[in-house]
Structure 1
Amino acid sequence: MEKMIPLLPCTSINETLDFYGSLGFEVTYRQQAPNVYAALAFEGIDLHFYVLKGLVPQDNFSTCYVVTDRVDVLYERFTGGLRAALGKLPSRGFPRVNPVKNLRSGNRQFIVIDPSGNYVRIGQPIAEQTNGLAKGPLGGPKLARTLETATMFADSHDDPESAVRVLDRALALDEEVPAALRFRALVLRADLAVRLGADEEAVAFLSEVDKIDPEAGPAVADERRRVQDLREQLLDRVKQT
Structure 2
Amino acid sequence: MLTTINPKLPMRDKTATRAFYINKLGFRALGNTDYDGYLMLGKDGIEIHFFEFKNLDPSENYGQVYIRTDNIDELYHSMLLDEVEIHPNGALQLKAWGQKEFSLLDPDNNLLTFGQSV
Q: Is the pair's TM-score, using the shorter chain for normalization, greater than 0.5?
A: yes
Report the count of equivalent residues: 115
Contact 1:68 1:122 in 2 (8 A): yes
The secondary structure found in structure 2 opposite 1:31 is: coil
* Distance (whole Å) between structure 2 residues aligned to residue 31 and residue 69 of structure 1: 31
Which letter maps to 1:44? G
- 1:15 positional shift: 0.6
Q: Pick from 103, 115, 118: which aligns with 1:111?
A: 103
- Assess, with a 3 A threshold, how the Cα gap between structure 1 residues 90 and 123 changes in structure 2: closer, same or farther: closer
What residue in structure 1 maps to residue 30 of structure 2? 28
Larger fraction in strand: 2
Which letter maps to 2:34? Q
Contact 1:23 1:79 in 2 (8 A): no
Contact 1:26 1:40 in 2 (8 A): yes
> TM-score when scaled to structure 1?
0.44
The 5-angstrom pairing of residues 177-192 of structure 1 reads: none
Compare CA radii of gyration and give the structure with the larger one: 1
5+ residue gaps, structure 1, are 127-241
What residue in structure 2 maps to residue 44 of structure 1? 45
Larger fraction in helix: 1
Q: 1:169-202, CA deviations, whole angstroms, 9 ceiling, x for partnerless residues?
A: xxxxxxxxxxxxxxxxxxxxxxxxxxxxxxxxxx
CA root-mean-square deviation: 2.1
**1:57 and 2:54 are equivalent in the alignment:** no
Contact 2:11 2:50 in 1 (8 A): yes
> TM-score when scaled to structure 2?
0.84
Between 1 and 2, higher relative CO (CA 8 Å, sep ≥ 6) is seen in: 2
5+ residue gaps, structure 2, are none
Which letter maps to 1:102? L
Identical aligned pairs, as a percentage? 28
- Assess, with a 3 A threshold, how the Cα gap between structure 1 residues 119 and 89 changes in structure 2: closer, same or farther: closer
